[in-house]
Structures are given as structure tokens and as C-alpha cells.
């Protein structure tokens, strides 16, 4: 991964002797998360019932920062930790499947300083041939980039949890704003950004970077220290953890 594309990826540092607070993940829709260095709070899932996260990680969520290109970096500040770059589309069913399988693992490893994860939202469904999915993809990608870093992790989870079926209308602005409110995102800037497409240009830039620079063929796509991971690895928690462990520098 090119560090120039990610703004240098300046990582948060773990305060010495800081105890970890217990976080919980309950299946369903998302309510609140605050990711901060000095105190982690709880991720709660209380709206959607069964069918939420599989094998949910029951631990402190890692801090999230925003890179210069708008991507979100989930990591503690271990510069020896491997760098995992993930391209995803919130309308993509395969992306949701991969997220449900490996998302809890990545939160755990990032919270332990064992991996640095960079999430890059992109728009895969495009043009008039994309039907409703193209509009859904664009609105959700824009909204994810509109989210502040402190509320992004909860919002990221909720977008996948509320993913519309392909070729059906969904992710309307009012819904995206309401999901954000339940994720603890407040203030007028987020709704204005969602309804006004405030991050569409950045979404287009990330999409061009994915396909033209990184050579993404279709999402989900993951690169570990710049090397493209096979689909069977990036979608399997056990195999992905082994790959991350092997990649760690001494």
C-alpha cells in the first residue's frame, strides 16, 4: 500500500498502563460507539434481532482515525503491525458476507495492536445499467465518508446490517441519516453532507484508485502489506488471522 495515498497513516498510541474496558456486541441494529484513546465505550446492537454479526468480538473497540484521502484507519499505534487495506461497497452482498466473517476478527486484532486496517469505501455499481443498486451504492459510500471518525465504526457496521437487497431501492438519505443518529452521530454537518453528496468526489477518487491504481477487479478486495489476498483468505477468519500473524515483522 502506498503511504502517500493514506496520508502517512499516523497511528494512535496506546496510553501506558491503560486498562481495557469491556465492550459488548449484541445482534441487531447499532446504537452507540465512541472510539477514543482514553476510554472505550460499548457497541450495542438492539434493533435487528437475529441475523446480525457472526462471532461478535466481545472486547474494547480499537480507535479510528481518518487518513488524508478520507479512508478510515482502525489501529493502535504499533508500526510493526501488518497493514491490511480493504476496499468495500456497502451495497455489495459479497462485501457484507466477508465483513460478517472477518469483521470481529479485525476489530480484535486491531485492538491488540496486531494489525492496522485501512477501510476504503468505493462505488462498484455504476451507471444506468446499475439500476437501483448504483444509487444505493453511491449514497451509502458518500454517507460512510461523511461520518466522523469517532462514529464511523458503528456506522460502518450498521450500513452492512441494513444493506438493501440487490436491485431494490434503499439507502435513501433519510434512512442513512437516521442510521447515523442511532450510531451516535450528531450535529448538522452529517445530514447536510449525506443529502448534499458532500463526499461524492472523494468516493469517486477512491473508486478510481481501487480499480486503476491498485488493480481491484471486484470487491471485496484486501491487500496485506501491499499484496493482494486470495478471496478464500480474506473471507475466512482463521486463514486471515494466520496470514496476518505470518506477515508481522519481528
Q: Give the DSSP per-residue string, 3-65.
A: GGGGTT-PPPPPPTTPPPPP----SSSB------SS------B-SS-SSS-SS---SPPPPEE
- Written as nine digits, the cell of 195 is 443529502
**Separation in Å, CA 205 to CA 52, 100, 157, 211:** 31, 26, 23, 10
Contact between 157 and 28 under an 8 Å Cβ cutoff? The reply is no
Express each pLDDT in 30-86 by its tens digit: 333 333 322 332 333 233 222 333 345 566 778 899 999 999 999 876 678 999 999
Express each pLDDT in 93-134 by its tens digit: 999 999 999 999 999 999 999 999 999 999 998 866 668 899
Distance CA 142, CA 161 (A): 17
CB-based contacts of 217: which residues, under 8 Å, 6+ apart?
Answer: none
Is the backbone peptide bond immediately before 220 cis, with ω within 30 degrees of 0? yes
**Separation in Å, CA 174 to CA 139, 181, 224:** 11, 11, 36
What are the chain's domains?
3-247 (3.40.30.10)
What's the pLDDT score for residue 61? 77
CB-based contacts of 14: which residues, under 8 Å, 6+ apart?
Answer: 37, 76, 77, 113
Express each pLDDT in 223-235 by its tens digit: 999 999 999 999 9
Amino acid at each position: 500500500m502506498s503511504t502517500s495515498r493514506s496520508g502517512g497513516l499516523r497511528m494512535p498510541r496506546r496510553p501506558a498502563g491503560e486498562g481495557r474496558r469491556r465492550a459488548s456486541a449484541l445482534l441487531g441494529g447499532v446504537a452507540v460507539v465512541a472510539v477514543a484513546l482514553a476510554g472505550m465505550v460499548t457497541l450495542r446492537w438492539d434493533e435487528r434481532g437475529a441475523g446480525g454479526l457472526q462471532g461478535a468480538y466481545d472486547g474494547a473497540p480499537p480507535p479510528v482515525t481518518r487518513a488524508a484521502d478520507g479512508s478510515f484507519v482502525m489501529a493502535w499505534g504499533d508500526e510493526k503491525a501488518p497493514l491490511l487495506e480493504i476496499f468495500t461497497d456497502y451495497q455489495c452482498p459479497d462485501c457484507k458476507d466477508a465483513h460478517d466473517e472477518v469483521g470481529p476478527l479485525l476489530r480484535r486484532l486491531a485492538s491488540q495492536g496486531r494489525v492496522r486496517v485501512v477501510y476504503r469505501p468505493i462505488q462498484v455499481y455504476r451507471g444506468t445499467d446499475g439500476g437501483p443498486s448504483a444509487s444505493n451504492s453511491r449514497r451509502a459510500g458518500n454517507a460512510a465518508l461523511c461520518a466522523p471518525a469517532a462514529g464511523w465504526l458503528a456506522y460502518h457496521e450498521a450500513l452492512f446490517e441494513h444493506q438493501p437487497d440487490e436491485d431494490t431501492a434503499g439507502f435513501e438519505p433519510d434512512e442513512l441519516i437516521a442510521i447515523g443518529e442511532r450510531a451516535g452521530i450528531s450535529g448538522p454537518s452529517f445530514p447536510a453532507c449525506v443529502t448534499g453528496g458532500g463526499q461524492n468526489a472523494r468516493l469517486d477518487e477512491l473508486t478510481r484508485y481501487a480499480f486503476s491504481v491498485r488493480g481491484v477487479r471486484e470487491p471485496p478486495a484486501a491487500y496485506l502489506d501491499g499484496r493482494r489476498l486470495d478471496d478464500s483468505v480474506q473471507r475466512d477468519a482463521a486463514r486471515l488471522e494466520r496470514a496476518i500473524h505470518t506477515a508481522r515483522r519481528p
